Each structure stands twice: as C-alpha cells, then as structure tokens.
Amino acid sequence: MELTVQTAKPYRILLERGLLAHTGEKCAELFPCGSRAMVISDSNVFPLYGEQVMDSLKQAGFLTTSCVFPAGEQSKLLSTVESFYRGLAEEGFTRSDFIVALGGGVTGDMAGFAAATFLRGIDFVQIPTTLLAQVDSSVGGKTGVDLPFGKNLVGAFHQPRLVLIDPDTLSTLPDTYFADGMGEVIKYGCICRKELFDSLLERDVKEHLEDVIFQCVDCKREVVEEDTLDKGRRMILNFGHTLGHALEKLHGFSGLSHGEAVGIGMVLIARAGERAGLTAAGTSGKIVALLKKYGLPVASDWSMEEIAEATALDKKSAGKDLRLILLREIGDAFIYTMPHKNLISFLKP
Ligand code: NAD
Ligand code: GLY
C-alpha cells in the first residue's frame, strides 16, 4: 500500500510487511549512491532492527553510521539532539546526506528536529516502529524536543522525504505501547473514519492491522495537506487531547499513559458535546465501548473542576478563547471556540 503526501515537497508513505529489508533500495530512489546516511535509533529498537536497516543501506551503496540514545521520553532533550549534531559533524555530513529515524515517536521527533536544524536543514526518512508512530507521528513533519518546563516546546515543521512503515516491527512492541497507540487509532476513527471505527468494534485490530494503519495515515495525510502548519483544520487531530493533556499533567506524567489519557479525554468531551446538543446522542457511549474493547480506561477520579483547571497553561489563558475539538457524530470532527472560563460549566453534568 502506498500514499503520497502533497506538501510543498511531496513524499511517499510506503506500508508493507517486510519493508525494513528494502530500506536501502527505497532510499536509493531518492538519494545518490555514495551519500551518507545516519541511522538514529534508541537503545531498545537499534538492537532489534538496526543491523537489518544498516545492512540494507550499505548494500544500496550508502555510507552508513549510527547514533543510539537511551530509550524513553526522558531522553527527548536538546542535549540528546546535540549528541546527534556531534556525530553528523564528525562524520562530515553535508546537505546531500540524510538521516534515518528508526523507532517510535521519541526517535522520530528528535531525529526529525536534528534534520530540520543541522546545516539549516537536511533530508530525513522515517521508519516508525511503534503503533503510535506508524499511525500518527511519522507523518506530517512535526519535530521537536521537550524542555524542563513543558513537552514539545521547541521544534520545527520539517517533512520527511519518505516514510517506510513495516507493520512486522510491531510484533516486538510491548503490549502496553500497543494499547497506547490504540488511543490514537480510535481517535482517527472518531474524527474522520466512521468505517474504521465500526470495523474496530466488529473485528480485532490485529486481524486487519495494515488496513487500520493505512486508514489512519490516510486521514492524517488529508488533514496535513489541508493545513500543513497547524493553523486550522489540523487541530482536529487534537480530539481528546486538551483534556487528555490535563489528565497527564494531574498524574504527574506517570501512571497514566498518553493513549489512556486521550481515551478518557475523548469520552468526556463527547459527553459534554452531547449535553450541549452539538454532538449526536449516543456518541460517547460508542467511544466507551470501543475503548473498553481495547483495554483502555474510560473514566478518571479527578473532578471536572480539577481537569478544567489543569487545561490552563498559565493564569493568562483564563481570559482567552479555547479551541475545543468536538464531534458532530463518529467520523465528523469540528473546531468549537469558547471562552476558557466557560470550560468548567461546559464539562459539568
Ligand atoms: P517511544 O518512541 O518512546 O516508544 C515507546 C517505547 O517502545 C520505547 O521504549 C521504545 O524503545 C520502544 N519500542 C519502539 N518500537 C519498538 C519495537 N518495534 N519493538 C520493541 N520496542 C519498541 O514512544 P512513542 O509512544 O512511539 O511516541 C511518543 C512520542 O511521540 C512523544 O514524545 C510524543 O510527543 C510524540 N508524538 C509526536 C507526534 C508528531 O506529530 N510528531 C504525534 C504524536 C506523538
Ligand atoms: N499529532 C498532531 C499533529 O501532527 O498535528
């Protein structure tokens, strides 16, 4: 399966089992033989797939090198990216060379940021290996790192030149990260693919994984093409995220995963939309049923006041408008603007 994302410089997304072994030949369609390629990966993923990717690149005539960092969000720092810059500089990378991001969203975001900024921008290829990265983060060009005062606060839009999705890599992904990615998969069903949503209820996701990934990526492609720089329509990708982020914050960013938090966020906001007459009755019930089927939580112990309060970045946002993502019904999302101060009454039964 394949798609092309029509951004300023269009790029292909290839989706196929066993694709990892063809990394070199796919890159050779874009980059001249003899170019340098740096594989950036984390300490869990590189031992599993690094050799295969490096070998494939070498066979295609690329001069390969690698940079491996300790796995986990705690590595998503400017200092880690600086270690990539050091490697790129030591190896004499120029603008005709490229980076290969092999791993989950943390790897893709950091390797992409290094590519966006080294020599004011070099090319990069995404090889996502988590469900979350395959259905979401590897497409669309959002790259960046965390700062001590907040997640993803520094970054750049930098589209990859190619995305290679090999669903076979998910066979080694721990269940907890698979479940986490399901939060985003269900989100895609909610915002733009009713057929996907229904099929996830009727069948097990693993029976038709390639089709599920394809549908999510196709939805992301559509949205990114319409609003590459995230100034309007792309915000629908944040369905469930405003309240989800608040819940993650209340949990001190541990104990509740991103996918779990987004799941609860989707239920709460759909319920509020139904009460306000903006969302079709029964929508939140359908979301609850699907989240439960995939072992994701559907409620939290925090009060609506606490959740609403935690959505405020700072005191100043209280006087500002909030753009919430609501559903008209499953498969149809829209942006709803309201004063931030009205959020508590909007959320409360
Ligand atoms: P991750 O990259 O940390 O991967 C999760 C864990 O799975 C890690 O321990 C990793 O080593 C391991 N892993 C990855 N692939 C594996 C495999 N095939 N087999 C075994 N283990 C494997 O986290 P993630 O959940 O993929 O991504 C989360 C990050 O993505 C966050 O930093 C978030 O901000 C970012 N994100 C970015 C975008 C975007 O558009 N750029 C969108 C959503 C999320
Ligand atoms: N994952 C949100 C975005 O790409 O815009």
**Sign (positive or negative) of CA dihedral 169, 156, 42, 251:** negative
Report residue 311's pLDDT band, with 50, 70 and 90 as the boundaries: confident
Task: Give residue 313's pLDDT.
Answer: 58
Report residue 142's pLDDT band, with 50, 70 and 90 as the boundaries: very high
pTM of the model: 0.95
The number of helix segments (H) and strand segments (E) in the chain equals 14, 11
Q: Is the pLDDT of residue 44 over 80?
A: yes
Task: Give residue 317's pLDDT.
Answer: 56
Task: Give residue 318's pLDDT.
Answer: 53
Measured distance CA(93)–CA(109) in Å, rounded: 20
Centre of ligand 1 to C-alpha 138, Å, is: 10
For strand 98-103 and strand 36-42, is the pairing parallel, antiparallel, or unpaired? parallel
Report residue 319's pLDDT band, with 50, 70 and 90 as the boundaries: low
Give yes or no for a contact between 42 and 76, defined as CB atoms under 8 angstroms apart.
Answer: no
Measured distance CA(31)–CA(274) in Å, rounded: 51
142 Cβ inside 6 Å of ligand 2: yes
Q: How does the average pLDDT of the chain come out, rounded?
A: 95
Q: Position 294: which residue type?
A: Y
Number of the ligand 1 atom closest to the C-alpha atom of 106: 2
Q: Is the pLDDT of residue 195 over 70?
A: yes
Tokens matching residue 36: 């340098």
Report residue 71's pLDDT band, with 50, 70 and 90 as the boundaries: very high
List, as one string, the DSSP characters of 266-307: HHHHHHHHHHTTSS-TTHHHHHHHHHHHTT-----SS-HHHH
DSSP classification of residue 129: -
Burial of 206 (0-12, 13-18, 19+ CB in 10 A): exposed
Q: Is the pLDDT of residue 117 over 80?
A: yes
The pocket around ligand 1, CB under 6 angstroms, is made up of 42, 44-45, 48, 71-73, 76, 103-107, 109, 129-130, 132-133, 136-137, 140, 142, 151-152, 169, 172-173, 177, 180
Report residue 151's pLDDT band, with 50, 70 and 90 as the boundaries: confident
Percent of the chain residues topping a pLDDT of 90 = 90
Report residue 1's pLDDT band, with 50, 70 and 90 as the boundaries: very high
Give me the mean pLDDT over the 63-88 stretch.
97
Query: Among 16-20, 257-261, 277-281, whose mean pLDDT is lowest?
Result: 257-261
**Residue with CA at minimum distance from ligand 2 atom 2:** 237
Task: Give residue 150's pLDDT.
Answer: 82
Count of alpha carbons within 13 Å of 26, Cβ hemisphere only?
25
136 Cβ inside 6 Å of ligand 2: yes
Contacts 24+ apart (CB under 8 A), 1-5: 1/210, 1/214, 3/214, 3/217, 3/218, 3/221, 5/139, 5/140, 5/159, 5/221, 5/224, 5/225
237 Cβ inside 6 Å of ligand 2: yes
Give yes or no for a contact between 63 and 37, defined as CB atoms under 8 angstroms apart.
Answer: yes
Q: Give tens-digit pLDDT for 203-255.
A: 999 999 999 999 999 999 999 999 999 999 999 999 999 999 999 989 988 88
Task: Give residue 96's pLDDT.
Answer: 96
Task: Give residue 254's pLDDT.
Answer: 82
Task: Show the CA angle centred on residue 13, arms to residues 10 and 16, nearest 5°.
Answer: 160
